[in-house]
Structure 1
Amino acid sequence: MTNIAVVNQIIPFSCVDGPGSRLVIFMQGCNYRCKSCHNPHTIDLCNNCGDCLPSCPTQALSLITSNNKPQVIWNEALCIQCDLCLSACPKQSSPKTQRYSVEQLLTQLRQQVRFLNGITISGGEASLQLPFIFELFSAIKADDELAHLTCMLDSNGSLSINGWKQLLPVLDGAMIDLKSWQQDTHRFITGRGNHRVINAIELLASKGKLHEVRLLHIPGISDFDTEITAVANHLKTLPKKVRIKLNAFQHHGVTGAALNWPTCSEAQIKQLATELTQHGVINIVLPSPYL
């Protein structure tokens, strides 16, 4: 079986996407519509309309016909990363994606394996391409040269329980975003409820596969401060090794109505950390940049 992944970006070395030095693959496509998203161009898949072509100053984009269908082609060698194509796209999508086979990514991993502790699949929402992830992680585990690498998933937690159970045998850890506590608030921010997120956190924790839960604090919008007791009581049930990562909302990359939302200051994120600590939550990690 050979699956192909639609990839937005690959970062060869990262120290902030899981433990140690990691190769990070950002998948294209997401099933959430977060108003607070700082990478909105990773949400939709390109529909090959070609509206982005006139915006490119270096003609790095072209439109061809493949199997009687139009297809936008991105020439990375000509691209100057001005991102004018992202602004031109009516869907806020990116034409600057690549398609990778499992073998192509294994080849890249072998070239860098001496410098890596593991691989992290992120997004967008990576779990939308679950068959590819399962095939890639399985191949890594079966490869003598790569088997020591940890395989981790960065996710919004929306994958079904059955989906997580399929992935668990080849998954070493997951980082899960909890956007808010109350259903209505979560739906307002993301367009979806959070029942699956809570279920995913509980399942992964029970299997020892939960590395980190992340809370994005948006003052006056997200409800972690107003629901502090309920949030803390849930987080306290998690294994002590699970990191509770607090992120401070900023406007970088954000579009639309969220540009009018208040940003989160260092004082506000520290206050949330203090309140969680007072309620018994441990292993809290604060962000380093606030601007």
Structure 2
Amino acid sequence: MNKSWAIVNKLLPFSCVDGPGNRLVIFLQGCNFKCLNCHNPYTISLCSDCGSCVSSCPHQALSLVDNKVIWQTSACQQCDTCINTCSHSSTPMTYRYSVEDILQTIRKYQPFLTGITVSGGEATMQLPFITKLFSAIKQDQNLKHLTCFIDSNGYLSQSGWQKVQPVLDGAMIDLKAWDSQIHKKLTGRDNHRVKQTIAYLAKINKLYEVRFLIIPEHTDLQHNATHLAQFLMDIDPNIKIRINAFHNHGVHGIAKTWKPATQDQVELFAMQLKNNGLHNITLPSVYL
């Protein structure tokens, strides 16, 4: 993919939950996981321009021109009919931003920002663009104070992290399960690289946070708290941990039938981690 521009699903000018402080968040399209519990499955794939969504649009906001699906934002009513029609876990409602486009947006909100977070989908699927964007921010006298973060599933190889490391201030990494086979069942991929990513980023002082999602009866995190704690304690006893509670609002497929995590279940897992030496733990502020 051309590193000078990116396929963006959404841009959020202000967020206080995607890293430290007030952050501008760029959600990139595309993901290399297929999580059963994904709340945004339409961010997984890039549009294949098959055209199946064009005729289904009730507002004629889509057309097929030269074998490319064209989205007319002025006609779109955000009814999501195209998303529900697509059989490829994608959406035609994406934006193509250059590095300069993003920089102009950052400059607009810069007085109110602490930093920039690139998320997804899976952000690192468009790593060349991220590296160029972060480099441009660091070279700009008016923007270089902004911290540059990546929110990731951790599947990027170490050589990939090494490419972005010089301009990266921190990363938030999700660990979906302790056992590799359970991780593969949930996401379609094993977790060897994810664990390697956590260890590597901590070693180079670029790991901001490790995130766990408690899904009752489906994740094995609760049953492997001792192993998890030992793994993280060996890396850094002060490692920052965030525990999230699964809810089935907005999910698709089989995960709609899964039970949401309760406050008691999340707090029990947190206590297990604390009993094994970890104390820098953030719990959900709201349980749905």
Q: TM-score range by the shorter chain?
A: over 0.9
Paired residues for 1:139-154 under 5 Å = 139-154=136-151
Q: Which residue matches 2:80?
A: 83
Q: Which residue matches 2:8?
A: 7
Work out whether 1:41 is the aligned partner of 2:38: no
Distance in 2 (alpha carbons) for counterparts of 1:9 and 1:165: 27
Q: Which moved more, 1:254-263 or 1:206-215?
A: 254-263
Distance in 2 (alpha carbons) for counterparts of 1:144 and 1:116: 15
- What is the CA distance between 1:237 and its match in structure 2? 2.9
CA contact (8 A) 1:40 1:253 kept: no
Work out whether 1:170 is the aligned partner of 2:167: yes
CA contact (8 A) 2:238 2:278 kept: no
Distance in 1 (alpha carbons) for counterparts of 2:68 and 2:206: 39
- What is the CA distance between 1:12 and its match in structure 2? 0.6
- What is the CA distance between 1:55 and its match in structure 2? 2.7
Distance in 1 (alpha carbons) for counterparts of 2:286 and 2:62: 34
Work out whether 1:271 is the aligned partner of 2:252: no
1:53 is paired with a residue of what secondary structure? coil
Distance in 2 (alpha carbons) for counterparts of 1:252 and 1:235: 31
1:133 is paired with a residue of what secondary structure? helix
Q: Which moved more, 1:281-290 or 1:16-25?
A: 281-290
Work out whether 1:211 is the aligned partner of 2:208: yes
Distance in 1 (alpha carbons) for counterparts of 2:279 and 2:238: 9
Identity among equivalent positions (%) equals 53
Paired residues for 1:133-144 under 5 Å = 133-144=130-141
What amino acid maps onto 1:46 in structure 2?
C
Aligned equivalent of 2:226, options 226, 229, 233: 229
What amino acid maps onto 1:247 in structure 2?
N
Work out whether 1:184 is the aligned partner of 2:173: no
What amino acid maps onto 1:261 in structure 2?
W
TM-score by length of 1: 0.95
CA contact (8 A) 1:211 1:241 kept: no
TM-score by length of 2: 0.96
User: What's the Cα RMSD here?
Assistant: 1.3
Distance in 1 (alpha carbons) for counterparts of 2:142 and 2:182: 46
Paired residues for 1:88-103 under 5 Å = 88-103=85-100
Work out whether 1:131 is the aligned partner of 2:132: no
Q: Which residue matches 2:246?
A: 249
CA contact (8 A) 2:39 2:250 kept: yes
1:5 is paired with a residue of what secondary structure? strand
Q: Which residue matches 2:217?
A: 220
Aligned equivalent of 1:284, options 278, 281, 285: 281
Distance in 2 (alpha carbons) for counterparts of 1:288 and 1:79: 34
1:86 is paired with a residue of what secondary structure? helix
The Cα offsets for residues 21-52 of structure 1, whole Å up to 9 and x where unpaired, read as 11100000000111111111100111111111
Q: Which residue matches 2:61?
A: 60
The Cα offsets for residues 195-216 of structure 1, whole Å up to 9 and x where unpaired, read as 1101110011011110010001
2:234 is paired with a residue of what secondary structure? coil
2:174 is paired with a residue of what secondary structure? strand
Give the unaligned 5+ runs of structure 2: none
- What is the CA distance between 1:2 and its match in structure 2? 5.5
- What is the CA distance between 1:286 and its match in structure 2? 0.8
Give the unaligned 5+ runs of structure 1: none
1:237 is paired with a residue of what secondary structure? helix
Distance in 1 (alpha carbons) for counterparts of 2:149 and 2:23: 10
Q: Which moved more, 1:152-161 or 1:278-287?
A: 278-287
1:109 is paired with a residue of what secondary structure? helix
CA contact (8 A) 2:116 2:148 kept: yes
Q: Which residue matches 2:33?
A: 32
2:218 is paired with a residue of what secondary structure? coil
- What is the CA distance between 1:54 and its match in structure 2? 2.6
Distance in 1 (alpha carbons) for counterparts of 2:27 and 2:263: 28
Call closer, same or farther: CA 1:111–1:247 in 2, change over 3 Å. same
Distance in 2 (alpha carbons) for counterparts of 1:82 and 1:232: 44
- What is the CA distance between 1:252 and its match in structure 2? 2.3
CA contact (8 A) 2:152 2:173 kept: yes
